[in-house]
Amino acid sequence: MKKKIAIVGGGFFGMYIAEFFSRSGHTVDVYEREKTFMSRASYNNQARIHNGYHYPRSILTALRSRMSFPRFVDEFRNCIDDEFEQYYLISNQLGKVTANQFLKFCDRIGAACEPAPTYVQKLTNPSLIEACFSVTEHAFDAHKLRDEMLGRLDASSADYHTGISVDKVRQHQNGLLITLRDVVSEGQEEVYADHVFNCTYSHINYMLKKSNIELISLKHELTEMCLVDVPDELKKIGLTVMCGPFFSVMPFPSAGLHSFSHVLYTPHYEWFDKNESPYTDPYVKLNADQKNSAWNYMRKDAMRYLPILGECRYQRSLWEVKTVLPRSESDDSRPILFRPHHGLRGFHCVMGGKIDNIYDAREAIIAQHLVE
Ligand SMILES: Cc1cc2nc3c(=O)[nH]c(=O)nc-3n(C[C@H](O)[C@H](O)[C@H](O)COP(=O)(O)OP(=O)(O)OC[C@H]3O[C@@H](n4cnc5c(N)ncnc54)[C@H](O)[C@@H]3O)c2cc1C
C-alpha cells in the first residue's frame, strides 16, 4: 500500500533512501535544514571509496567494504575518480600491523595488493617505512554525487525541501506528526507521515532530545580535513600510512586538491551522546569552535615519513563533526546504525559509518519489511 514517508536529512543517505522509497511507489518528502543538499558530512570527508584495506582490525567491515565497493563504483561510475594510483604504506614504528600481516590480511579479504613501484618507494624515509603496497581504491566527487542524486530525485516523484529543520516527532493515529521549522522565518508547521526516517548523521539525537525519546549512544569528534595542493609528483597519487597514529593524503576530486588527514590531528576533540549526560547539539559546538588549524602539526609529522609532503601547500580546511558508534573505538569498525521504530512506531534512525554503507542500510531496511 502507498505510504507517506518523510526523510529527515538531505545527505547522501537521506537522498538515496528517499529515491528508493519513491521508486517503490510511496509518497516521499525529504527535508534538509541547510540551503543545499550533501553539504555536511557527505561533503566534508575524505572522499575515499573504501575497498577493505583500511580495516585490518575489523574483518567484518573489510569484507562488507569489499562487497559494496564494486557496487558503488558501478552505480556511481560518473562520480568516481579512478585515475590515480593508491598506495598503502606500512610503518615499522608505532604501527598496529606489520607488512606481513597486511599482506596476509589482503589475501584473506581477496583484495589486490602488490609491491609499489620503485619511484614511490623512493619518496619514503626507509628508516620509518617498512613497505609500500599498490592497492585498488578510488575517490568520489561529492559534488557530482550530489548532482546525480538530485537528478534521480527529480526523475522520481519525491519532493524535496531545503532550509527546513525537522525538530520534533510524535505519534499520531497510525502514524507520526513531525514539526517542520523554516530556518529563516522560524515559522513552524506539523505534517503527517506514516514513516519517518531520521538520516541526520551527527545530528541524529537532536530530534530525539527534542521529542523526549531515548538518545542513541554515539561518539562525536570535531574533525579537520585539510585540503592541499600537492607537488606535481603526487598529483595522481594517494598515500595512506597505516595502521596506527598516521596519516593519508589523497585526491579530493570535487575541489581538484588533495585531502590531508592525520589520525592524531584531524580529530580536535571528542564527546559522547549519552542519556545520563546533558545533550550538546553537535552543530552548535562546531559553529562555536575557534577552528585553529592543526595543519602545521600534520605536515611536520608526515614529512618524517615522506619528505616530499613538506612541499604541500595548504589551501583550506573542511570542518565537520564525525560520528561513530562507541564500540568502533576499539577496532575502528564502521557498521551502520539502524534503529527501526526507535521510541515511536514508524520512526526509524539510520546512520552509515561510510558512504558505501548505503547498501547495508538499504538491505537492513528491506529486511525489516518496514514499509508495506
Ligand atoms: C572527517 C570525516 C572523514 C570521513 N571520511 C570518509 C571517507 O573517506 N569515506 C567514506 O565513505 N566516509 C567517510 N566519512 C563518513 C561519511 O562522511 C558519512 O558516513 C556520510 O557522509 C554520512 O552521510 P549522511 O547522509 O548520513 O550524513 P550527512 O551528509 O551529514 O547528512 C545529514 C543531513 O541531515 C541534515 N540535518 C541534520 N539535522 C536535521 C534536521 N533536524 N532537519 C533537517 N535536516 C537535518 C544535515 O544538514 C545534513 O545535510 C567521513 C566523515 C567525516 C566527518
Q: Is 201's pLDDT higher than 80?
A: yes
Question: Is 9 a pocket residue for ligand 1 (Cβ < 6 Å)?
Answer: yes
pLDDT in tens, 348-370: 999 999 999 999 999 999 998 88
CB of 207 shorter than 6 A to ligand 1: yes
- Measured in angstroms, how far is the CA atom of residue 4 from the centroid of ligand 1? 24
Quote the CA–CA distance of 90 and 309 in Å, as a whole number: 17
Taking 90 as the threshold, does the pLDDT of residue 332 lie above it? Answer: no
Show the cell assigned to 350.
Answer: 539510520
- What is the C-alpha to C-alpha distance for residues 320 and 286, in angstroms, rounded to an integer? 7
Cell of 273: 551522546
State pLDDT tens for residues 279-328.
999 999 999 999 999 999 999 999 999 999 999 999 999 999 999 999 88
Structural contact between residues 30 and 158, judged by C-beta atoms closer than 8 angstroms: yes
pLDDT at 371 exceeding the cut of 80: no
Q: Whose CA is nearest to atom 9 of ligand 1?
A: 48
Q: Is the pLDDT of residue 244 over 90?
A: no
Q: What's the CA-to-centroid distance between 41 and ligand 1, angstroms? A: 3
Residue 330 has a pLDDT of 78
Is residue 193 in contact with ligand 1, taking CB distance under 6 Å?
Answer: no
Asked if 1-47+141-216+335-372 and 49-140+218-324 have one fold, the answer is no
Apex CA 260: angle with CA 255 and CA 261, to 5°? 130
* Radius of gyration, alpha carbons of the chain: 21
**Mutate-to-test residue for ligand 1 from 33, 36, 264, 268, highest number of ligand atoms within 8 A of CB:** 33
Distances, alpha carbon 152 to alpha carbons 22, 122, 155, in Å: 10, 45, 5
Ligand 1 probe mutation, 203, 240, 347, most atoms within 8 A of CB:
203
Report CA(171)–ligand 1 centroid distance (Å): 27
Which residues are 121's β-sheet partners?
Answer: none
Q: Tell how far the Cα of 320 is from the centroid of ligand 1, in angstroms.
A: 9
Grid coordinates belonging to 261: 588527514
Q: Ligand 1: which of 46, 206, 219 to mutate, most ligand atoms within 8 Å of CB?
A: 46
Q: What confidence score (pLDDT) does residue 219 get?
A: 96
Q: Is the pLDDT of residue 372 over 80?
A: no
**Residue-level pLDDT at 95:** 81
Domain segments of the chain: what residues?
1-47+141-216+335-372, 49-140+218-324
Contacting residues for 144 by C-beta, under 8 A, at least 6 apart: 78, 79, 253, 254
Q: Tell me what pLDDT residue 328 has.
A: 84
Q: pLDDT, tens digit, for every residue of 144-155?
A: 999 999 999 999
Q: What is the mean pLDDT of the chain?
A: 96
CATH architecture for residues 1-47+141-216+335-372: 3-Layer(bba) Sandwich (3.50)
Task: Encode pLDDT of 6-29 as tens digits.
Answer: 999 999 999 999 999 999 999 999
Order of strands across the sheet that contains 188-193: 164-172, 175-182, 188-193
What average pLDDT score do residues 269-274 get? 96
* pLDDT tens digit sequence for 79-111: 999 999 999 999 988 888 999 999 999 999 999
Q: Which of 174, 208, 206 is nearest to 193 (CA)?
A: 174
109-125 b/e (C-beta count within 10 Å ≥ 16 → b): bebebeebeeebeebbe
Q: What is the pLDDT of residues 27-58, one digit of tens each?
A: 999 999 999 999 999 999 999 999 999 999 89
Protein residue closest via CA to atom 32 of ligand 1: 200
Query: Percent of the chain, pLDDT > 70?
Result: 100
User: For residue 46, what pLDDT is reported?
Assistant: 98
CATH number of 49-140+218-324: 3.30.9.10
| Residue 333 in this model has a pLDDT that exceeds 90 | no
What local confidence, expressed as pLDDT, does residue 173 receive? 92
Mutate to test the pocket of ligand 1, among 19, 29, 40 (most ligand atoms within 8 A of CB): 40
